Structure 1
Amino acid sequence: YIMKNLLKYLFVFLLSLNLIEAQNKIEKVSLTYGEELPDDNQKIVKIIGEVNNKIYALAIKGKNDFFIKIFESTSMKLLKSKLIVIPEVLDKEIDFEEIFLLNSNLYAIGSVYNKKDKTFNLVANQISEDGILSKQTIVLFNSEVAKKSDRGVFYFKQSPDEGALLVMHTALFSKEDAVKYEVKLFDDKLYPLFSNTEKVKFDDSKKDYEFKIADFELNFLDDVFLVVNESYRDSKKKEQIEKFEIHTFKQKNGYKKEIININISGREIINCKMLATAKNTLKIVGFYSSVKENGKANFDLKGVYNATINLSDNTYDEVKFNEFDYQTKVKLIGERRAKKGKEVKPLYAIHSIVEKNDGGLIVLSEFQTVYVGNSSGIGPLAFTPVTYTKNEIIVTCLKPDGSLEWSNVLPKEQSAAITTMSFAFGAIGGNGNFAVGVAMQIPLVELGKGPEYLGAIPIYKNNQLNILFNDNVKNKGITNIEEIKSLGNYNNAVPSLFIFDNNGSITRKDPEEAIKNELVLRPAVYYRKSDKEYIIYASRKKKDKLGRMVLED
């Protein structure tokens, strides 16, 4: 009897080992997971970082209850899970904004509007290694605004070494025809290193006028950059005028403001992103559109532009405009439309920018749309259907001088539909002719419901670009965009790896054998540990695991 039970338990143990090892294996990629997480309905929406042999993650439960989860690094065993409750400020409840790990200091950040003073405040509370919030609240911003509906948005960026935090607040003052931006840089103790507040006037009486705070950036020297894009049509000269004003604040100059002007005519700038490189340059990239003879923009995507600013003397060479080649357009809009000279629709947002070892760039631009349906219900009980779509990615490789080296298209078709009680796009701010040009980000409160399965993870290692994403198992081996099938049920997705060589040619790697009921990667939730190692999150229905993904040589 004892021997019989021993054999039975041994069989169950060996079976469990097989279940642990039975992963969707893919050549060049090693995926290892920790133990299964408790069934507590807490879905991880951000992997914050790893320090002192612990991994920190943010999870959500229900509508907006956020938890700090702490894991042991080696085993990835869950050590603690604590509800984040930021203390009230002036007897007002705080709205959770973000959470950051600055070196070994963990902070929860929230915002609150003060109706009496017409101020929008940002506060932070430190979290201990045990997940306990400090009762001491640090006030980061106390920004004057025109009214609650124009209180603006806070934007965040961490320094490359993750030891400093850059925060920007923007708000519209419509009666003054002005936009106020406030930028602050904090060290790992949230002590302010630099602060600048400015109201920028604009003149929207001009034809086709647009004013945009396009992007902001922080480099390895803790220098701060902000770019303002102003565009309008000169009806007399029949020209489209584009003005870039880069506001530069360098640590070595005591953060004294410097302005770099870049003027462009004859083209419409669709969007603009900045990347501060390791070579102490500032790269400005984005899409541009063609312009009609009367100066009106076509608002299509003609190609990708690039300006490179040398930060040692603030000089820049000629802006490079790289038109999409015929083969790229065929993949995006089809051969028939490409032959007729049709252009690409402006539905692509810059997903990420990779700095190459030679000083050039690889720009990934993803097809992104959000469809918001009609709400049903009344007041706080109203439900809104939202569909996120993230399809093909245009991959543009630029030489160090900004000219085109090669381009290709990553074929994928993904969507996820959810129903939410409070839909709001905090990542995209704007009103009328004013906007803040931040790429689409799925709000934290919407993650954990499906959209986190969409998107892709770019990996740049040994001068080679690799892109991993969830795909339909029926697309195995397919690289032709016209032949791919949509993702379908993301719970049945498998990881696919696309490898780009030095000429932009694609090699696709799929699991040799798709395993049913396997954990599915969530590409919107990961932490980049190094150029080859990533901390990832995968799940299937109620089963969740933290893991590591390593790109093998």
Structure 2
Amino acid sequence: MKTMIKKYLIALSLFSFFSLSVLSQDKFGPITLSYGQEIEDNKQKIVQISGEINGKIYTLANKGKKYYVKVFDSAEMKLISTNLIEFPELKNKDLDFESLKVIGNKIYVFGSMYDRKNKEFDLAAIEINADGTLNDAQKVIFKTPVTKKKERGAFYFKKSPVENKLLVMHATLFDKEEAIQYEIKLFDEDLNEITSHLEKVPFEDRRDLEFSISDFDISFKDDIFLIINESYRDRKQKKNIEKFEIHAFKKDKNYEKEVIKLDFENKEVINCAMLATQDGLLQFVGFYSSVNKRGKANWKLKGIYSGTVDINSNEVLNLKFNEFDYETKVKLIGERRAKKGKDVKPYYQTHSLIEKPNGGLILLSEYQLVYVGRTGGIGPLGITPIQFTKNEIIVTSLNPDGTVEWSNVIAKKQRAAYSTLSIGFFGFAGSSNFSVGVGIAIPVSQLGKGPEYLGAIPIFENGKLTVVFNDHKKNTGVTDIEEIRSLGNYNKSIPTAFTFDDNGKITRLDPQELQEERLILRPGVYYRKSPKEYIIYSSRRSKDKLGRLIID
């Protein structure tokens, strides 16, 4: 009898273990989602997965206005420690949180402060110890001149392709001086400055100047590139002047500034994203609009442009402008408007830019809108409603010469709404005539409130594109944009994926079983470890888990 009971208990234990193993995985098509242990200390929500080094995963979490470093074991994905980020004062003032970055084998947290006395905006860095606690040493890496607190601008960060260098850009508008200023600095793993450049662009004689830093990037050779777009009306010549150029700072030329002009007429660049490849090429792509008879932009999307520059010679190898094809326009604006030749609304922002093995590109552009409502309440207790909308994604595959290979649309409708006591929204980086295109991502301060459930994770492996996102469970099997249901309650969503063949044809992959207790993926919070492996974060109600997304 005792032997039978013992065998029963062993069988029950094995069954329980097997059940837990099954529950910790979710598979649909070639995609496997596997999760570690439940995060018991989940009061602080993870808003950024910063990197994985030496068997540990470092993440950023927040609760209210406080930020934390959460450290996980890489193998079991279990929480090791939670550490409050408490900045030491700088010049007797508190620092505002900016970012958490893993650079090489070092982890840093960054904070900023406006120095009223010296009229400068400072950026300080503190190294994070292996256990997630803050080091005592503080290093000021940026002291950029500004005019006043309202014009302090914003900092933008970008890591090198092998993630052992950090490029930081500061940009702002000096309204009274009628000038735009940007400053870039490149740092090594120890945050030693490698190079820097500060530039002011006056516009006193160009009152209607529209100036945009569309994108910035760092190459495998540690070269720095900025895409600058200027547009203004020359009243004497009675025509619109469009300046679209690349500012290059190359390592082998001691980072001296070079200007690469991109010449075209009767078109207006709306946005731009660029990618420095390992083959010594700089590729850039984005949307453009037509202009009216007076030379002013119509500000609706006519199509996609694409260009390539030889980094070594600065030669512009190609610059192509491709109008949207009829089938794509029908999906975006409807058949009736497409037949009339109407253009697409300018609400699409670059989501991802992927290099193909043949030297071409895949551009993903997502419909994005942010609605900030009127603050209600009295004084400091005022509440501001915010709604994020992230809908369909235009997927465009480009040939190496810049022509369109194929184009299609991922049908999705997503929204997340919440109320906040303080907006703290995007920082100051733009005005009616000045913008920084790299600032379109959802700010860290807004994550953890719902927007991180929106968007998508693009995966490109073995020449095949797969895009994973959350969708309404009643959209199972649906790819037609006219039939898609809107996802309002992301807590009831299912993970789905669209895959594309060589001709751009879509195949939709959905889970075979609609599990009520399935963890909900947060596409706004992930870390790309390799082309086929991503570290992800998912949750359901009070259950939070870190995991891995692997595509076979």
Percent identity of equivalent pairs: 53
Q: Secondary structure at the match of 1:263?
A: coil
Aligned equivalent of 2:35, options 27, 33, 40: 33
Once residues 191 and 525 of structure 2 are traced to their aligned partners in structure 1, the CA distance between those partners, rounded to angstroms, is: 25
Per the TM alignment, residue 366 of structure 1 is displaced from its structure 2 partner at its CA by: 0.2
Give me the whole-angstrom Cα distance separating, in 1, the residues matched to 2:43 and 2:125.
26
- For 2:51, the aligned partner's letter is G
Structure 2, unpaired ranges of 5+: none
Quote the offset at 1:428 in angstroms: 6.6
Deviations 1:257-308 (A, max 9, x none): 1111123220111112221122211112111001122323211100011121
Secondary structure in structure 2 of the residue aligned to 1:319: strand
Q: CA deviation at 1:426?
A: 2.3
CA–CA separation in structure 1 for the residues paired with 2:195 and 2:380: 40
Q: Deviations over 1:409-464 (max 9, x none)?
A: 01000000011122133267112322222252112122111110000000011111
Q: Which amino acid aligns with 2:60?
A: L
Instruction: Tell me how far 1:5 sits from its aligned partner.
Output: 10
CA contact (8 A) 2:303 2:322 kept: yes
Match of 2:464 in 1: 464
Question: Structure 2: how far apart are the matches of 1:507 and 1:427?
Answer: 39
Q: In 2, distance between residues paired with 1:37 and 1:307?
A: 46
Q: Give the match for residue 140 of structure 2.
A: 139
- Corresponding residue for 2:194? 193
In terms of mean alpha carbon deviation, does 481-490 or 93-102 score higher?
Answer: 481-490
> Counterpart of 1:133 in structure 2: which amino acid?
L
**Letter in structure 2 aligned against 1:47:** I
Contact 1:394/1:408 (8 A) holds in 2: yes
Aligned equivalents of 1:420, 1:238: Cα separation in 2: 47
**Contact 1:241 1:264 survives alignment (8 Å):** no
C-alpha distance in structure 2 between counterparts of 1:428 and 1:411, whole Å: 33
Q: Is the 8 A contact 1:381 1:421 kept in 2?
A: yes
Query: Is the 1:24–1:513 Cα contact (8 Å) retained in structure 2?
Result: no
Cα 1:333/1:238, change in 2 over 3 Å: farther
Distance 2:422 2:356 in 1: 40
Q: Indicate the residue corresponding to 1:161 in structure 2.
A: 162
How far does residue 199 in structure 1 lie from its aligned partner after superposition?
1.2
Quote the residue 2:173 is aligned against: 172
Aligned with 2:445: secondary structure? helix
Q: Name 1:51's counterpart in structure 2.
A: 53
Residues 165-212 of structure 1 deviation map (CA, whole Å, 9 limit, x = unaligned):
000011222232211111000000001111111112225646x53111
Q: 1:318 to 1:232 in 2, by over 3 A?
A: farther
Does the 8 A contact of 1:281 with 1:310 survive in 2? yes
Q: How does 1:106-505 map to 2 (within 5 A)?
A: 106-203=107-204, 205=206, 209-234=209-234, 239-426=239-426, 429-505=429-505
Quote the offset at 1:233 in angstroms: 3.6
Determine the C-alpha separation between the residues in 2 that align with 1:323 and 1:106.
44
Bigger mean CA offset, 2-11 vs 260-269: 2-11
The CA deviation at 1:371 is: 0.6
Supply the AA of the counterpart residue of 2:83. K
CA 1:419–1:429: 2 relative to 1, 3 Å: same
For the 8 Å contact 2:153–2:427, the answer to whether it is kept is: no
Larger displacement relative to structure 2 (503-512 or 258-267): 258-267
- 1:94 to 2:95 alignment: yes
Structure-2 separation of matches of 1:434 and 1:550: 41
Is 416-425 or 385-394 further displaced after alignment? 416-425
**1:15 CA displacement:** 4.2
1:224-264 deviation digits (Å, cap 9, x = unpaired): 11122111245676654321232111111111111111232
Cα offset for 1:81? Answer: 1.0
Give the gaps of 5 or more residues in structure 1: none
Tell me the amino acid that sits aligned with residue 152 of structure 2. R
Residue type at the aligned position of 1:42: Q
Q: CA deviation at 1:10?
A: 6.7
Is the contact between residue 318 and residue 402 of structure 2 (CA under 8 Å) also seen in structure 1?
A: no
Q: What is the letter of the counterpart of residue 46 of structure 1?
A: Q
Paired AA for residue 66 in structure 2: D
Secondary structure class of the residue paired with 1:338: helix
Contact 2:309–2:318 (CA under 8 A) maintained in structure 1: no
Q: 1:49–1:56: 8 Å Cα contact kept in structure 2?
A: yes
Structure 2 vs 1, CA of residues 290 and 238 (structure 1 numbering), >3 Å: closer, same or farther?
A: farther
* 1:41 partner letter: K
SS at match of 1:438: helix
CA contact (8 A) 2:521 2:537 kept: yes
1:60 to 55, 62, 75: 62
> Which stretch of structure 1 is more off in the superposition, 312-321 or 537-546?
312-321
Secondary structure of 2:486's match? Answer: coil
- SS at the partner of 2:150? helix
Distance in 2 (alpha carbons) for counterparts of 1:338 and 1:37 = 50
Say if 2:26 and 2:34, in contact at 8 Å, map to a contact too: no
Q: CA RMSD in A?
A: 1.9
Matched position secondary structure for 2:329: helix
TM-score (norm 1): 0.96
Could you tell me how far 1:342 is from its partner in structure 2? 1.4
2:515 counterpart residue number = 515
Indicate if the aligned counterparts of 2:300 and 2:343 stay in contact, CA closer than 8 A.
yes
Note the alpha carbon deviations across 1:66-99, whole angstroms, 9 max, x for none: 1111111111111111111111101100101001
1:489 Cα deviation after fit: 1.3
Kept in 1, the 8 Å contact 2:424–2:445? The answer is no
Question: How far off its partner does 1:317 sit?
Answer: 2.8
Distance 2:491 2:20 in 1: 18
The C-alpha deviation readout for 1:315-339, integer Å capped at 9, x for no partner, is 0034200100000000001111111
